Chains A and B, each alone.
Chain A
Amino acid sequence: MLIFGERINGMFTDIGEALRNKDPKPLQYWATKQEEGGAHYLDVNSGPAIPTEERVAAYEWMVNVIQEVSELPLVLDSTNYNAIEAGLKVCKRPAIINSCPAEQVKIERVFPMAVEYNAGIIGLTMDKKGIPKDAENRVAFAMELVAAADEYGIPMEDLFIDPLILPVNVAQEHAPEVLESLRQVKMLANPAPRTVLGLSNVSQKSPDRNLINRTYMAMAIASGLDAAIMDANDDDLVDVAATCQILLNRSIYADSYLKVFRSR
């Protein structure tokens, strides 16, 4: 189970301000802190803090300042592919592009870029019409992404299918459909593509967010989830990820398994 730390995102006030002031400290603080929490990758998102025309330069700067303090590979999170490409150019370790929907025009832009920079791709099970309601249509989009990976020669292990979880308080019926999608995505190819979720979405604007996040994560891991963009500093949540590894017999049990999961 891979943890993609979600905290370096311009939607958070401290990061937004840091981006505007070109202050590397908050980014570096969260890079280190998330790594300590158990993150395996760091998601990097400028959010709306930076005007569109400055995003390319902003991504280059973000990647550089984070790499000054952390060895972790990065997940470059933007809808601006020029910004992602600027980030990829300065990444020291193979990164993951977050993300590409199942739209031909975007596939043609993103997949060759992944090949050129030896990057992974998060593929969203949606097109410009939006997110489908049922598992069937989500899986159909996943199949298009799998076919694209095959066409461009991207190994299935480098393709992360995101079946897109929505907040349970307003889109409750999506939660089981996403679990079913995770199960079916694992049957699309051999080796199977990997799967990822933007986990914290499930609990947007609900009380007890942490409880909802960790319960849904355990269910999703049992359904085939390989990675989550999540709060790497929610210790209970990381404990659940570690425990799932043990209960699914993916990691050999030892009494100190929680500690082992966080160590590198």
Chain B
Amino acid sequence: MSVTLVKERYSSKVGEVILGATSEQGGTRTSTVTVGGDSGLPFLQFEGETKNRPVIAMEVTDVVPTWNDMIKNQIGDVINNPVAWAKKCVDEYGADLIYLKFIGADPEGENRSPEDCARIVKEVLAAVGVPLIVEGCDDSAKNNEVITAIAEAAAGENLLLGLAEQDNYKSIAAAAMVHKHTLIARSPLDINICKQLNILINEMGLPLNKIVIDPTVAGLGFGIEYVYSIMERARLGALANDKMLSMPMICTVGHEANRCKEANASVEEFPGWGDLADRGVLWEAVTASGVLQVGASILVMRNPAAVKLVQKNIADMTAK
């Protein structure tokens, strides 16, 4: 009695999205990054193609972030300088992309001007050759101003811009469209809103291959199973030809994992949890590895030691 390998046949695949633009394409990147294109479930290479391996974007902020010392110490002096920091992420840690977050633009904080933010983007673009992901601050009105200025200043670079949300997507989608960038569409752990937002953005005229889904990831132990099942459902939808869910997904795992108590509390405080040095790294790495299993294409990460582990995990999972 022989055993037949059961292979699922899917009618469609995840759409491909290109990030960045080289000089021939109107940008200044030394190379572009393509994500998506999978024609099966993640890493099941016997029944579908994992066309482009998942990539890691490392997080860089415009002002010194309030992260824990374990991460800040690894980054060192350059944490004061987004340009040098971005360069270090690419040269030293092998980041595929730089994720530039303008926490300094927040009106409650430094209230940095949109022009200032745009200048920093230009400087980072000059320092590194990889494509950039750019998000403003968490104040949505200010974020729209910041992103609009950046989109214009970096026209043609095909940045991945964030964030478009259901009640605030028009101005940022318009900026992406006019200045030829790609857009992050974020939904609050809700696949119906996720799909609807993609429809709304697409109706404005932005093509489906210029949209990346941010399902709003959660950290390990803090609701990751919700996003895990939503991402799985989106992937199954994409494979079953649901065009409005067929975009690649981005997960801000560094932000979410490092908000967890387990990634920050010392062994003295919680002796049962063991050494923080290992725990902190693993909390981010396991969060990232978890969402890789349900189709994350872009991981936004923070801790260089966690990045190293996940890079190995991706290499192992995509080895032919």
Q: Are A255 and B245 touching (Cβ within 8 A)? A: no
A12 at the interface (CB under 8 A from B): no
A205-264 with Cβ < 8 A to chain B: 251-256, 259-260, 263
Contact with A along B276-288 (1 / 0, CB 8 A): 0000000000000
Count class of interface residues, chain A: under 10
B290 at the interface (CB under 8 A from A): no
Could you list 9 further interchain pairs (A-B, Cβ under 8 angstroms) beyond the known A252-B192, A252-B242, A260-B244?
A: A251-B242, A252-B245, A253-B195, A254-B195, A254-B199, A255-B192, A255-B199, A256-B196, A260-B199
Q: Considering only CB atoms and an 8 Å cut-off, how many residues of chain B contact the other chain?
A: 12
- Hey, which bits of chain B sit against chain A, CB under 8 A? 191-192, 195-196, 199-200, 233, 237, 242-245
Most buried by A among B192, B243, B244: B244
* Complex A-B, nearest 7 residue pairs according to Cβ-Cβ distance, in ascending order: A254-B195, A254-B196, A256-B199, A253-B192, A255-B196, A252-B237, A252-B195
Q: How far is the CA of A211 from the CA of B182 in the complex (A)?
A: 45
23 contacts between A and B (CB under 8 A): A251-B242, A252-B191, A252-B192, A252-B195, A252-B233, A252-B237, A252-B242, A252-B245, A253-B192, A253-B195, A254-B192, A254-B196, A254-B199, A254-B244, A255-B192, A255-B199, A256-B196, A256-B199, A259-B199, A260-B195, A260-B199, A260-B244, A263-B243
Contact partners of A251 in chain B: CB under 8 A: 242
Contact partners of B195 in chain A: CB under 8 A: 252-254, 260
Measured CB to CB, the closest approach of chain B to A49, in angstroms, equals: 36
Measured CB to CB, the closest approach of chain B to A185, in angstroms, equals: 22
Question: Chain A residue with minimal CB distance to B193?
Answer: A254
Q: How far is the CA of A139 from the CA of B297 in the complex (A)?
A: 47
Q: How far is the CA of A263 from the CA of B246 in the complex (A)?
A: 14
Measured CB to CB, the closest approach of chain B to A189, in angstroms, equals: 17
Measured CB to CB, the closest approach of chain A to B266, in angstroms, equals: 43
The count of A-to-B residue pairs whose CB atoms sit within 8 angstroms is: 26
Most buried by B among A252, A253, A255: A252
Q: Say whether chain A's binding surface is mostly helix, strand, loop, or mixed.
A: loop
Contact partners of A252 in chain B: CB under 8 A: 191-192, 195, 233, 237, 242, 245
Measured CB to CB, the closest approach of chain A to B199, in angstroms, equals: 5
Q: How far is the CA of A256 from the CA of B237 in the complex (A)?
A: 16
Q: How far is the CA of A263 from the CA of B208 in the complex (A)?
A: 13
Q: How far is the CA of A255 from the CA of B190 in the complex (A)?
A: 13
Contact partners of B196 in chain A: CB under 8 A: 254-256
Question: Chain B residue with minimal CB distance to A264?
Answer: B243
Contact partners of B242 in chain A: CB under 8 A: 251-252
Measured CB to CB, the closest approach of chain B to A23, in angstroms, equals: 36
Q: How far is the CA of A52 from the CA of B32 in the complex (A)?
A: 61
Most buried by A among B195, B233, B243: B195
Contact partners of A254 in chain B: CB under 8 A: 192, 195-196, 199, 244
Q: How far is the CA of A259 from the CA of B202 in the complex (A)?
A: 12
Q: How far is the CA of A263 from the CA of B199 in the complex (A)?
A: 11
Question: Chain B residue with minimal CB distance to A259?
Answer: B199
Contact partners of A255 in chain B: CB under 8 A: 192, 196, 199
Contact partners of A253 in chain B: CB under 8 A: 192, 195
Q: How far is the CA of A254 from the CA of B199 in the complex (A)?
A: 9
Q: How far is the CA of A18 from the CA of B199 in the complex (A)?
A: 40
Most buried by B among A251, A254, A256: A254
Contact partners of A259 in chain B: CB under 8 A: 199
Contact partners of A256 in chain B: CB under 8 A: 196, 199-200
Question: Chain A residue with minimal CB distance to B198?
Answer: A254
Contact partners of B199 in chain A: CB under 8 A: 254-256, 259-260
Q: How far is the CA of A253 from the CA of B191 in the complex (A)?
A: 8
Q: How far is the CA of A254 from the CA of B200 in the complex (A)?
A: 10
Contact partners of B233 in chain A: CB under 8 A: 252
Contact partners of B237 in chain A: CB under 8 A: 252
Contact partners of B244 in chain A: CB under 8 A: 254, 260
Contact partners of B200 in chain A: CB under 8 A: 256
A108-127 with Cβ < 8 A to chain B: none
Question: Chain B residue with minimal CB distance to A256?
Answer: B199
Contact partners of A263 in chain B: CB under 8 A: 243
Q: How far is the CA of A254 from the CA of B190 in the complex (A)?
A: 10
Contact with B along A146-183 (1 / 0, CB 8 A): 00000000000000000000000000000000000000
Contact partners of A260 in chain B: CB under 8 A: 195, 199, 244
Contact partners of B243 in chain A: CB under 8 A: 263
Q: How far is the CA of A263 from the CA of B195 in the complex (A)?
A: 14
Question: Chain A residue with minimal CB distance to B236?
Answer: A252
Q: How far is the CA of A251 from the CA of B245 in the complex (A)?
A: 11
Measured CB to CB, the closest approach of chain A to B295, in angstroms, equals: 15
Measured CB to CB, the closest approach of chain A to B292, in angstroms, equals: 22
Question: Chain B residue with minimal CB distance to A253?
Answer: B192
Question: Chain A residue with minimal CB distance to B202?
Answer: A263
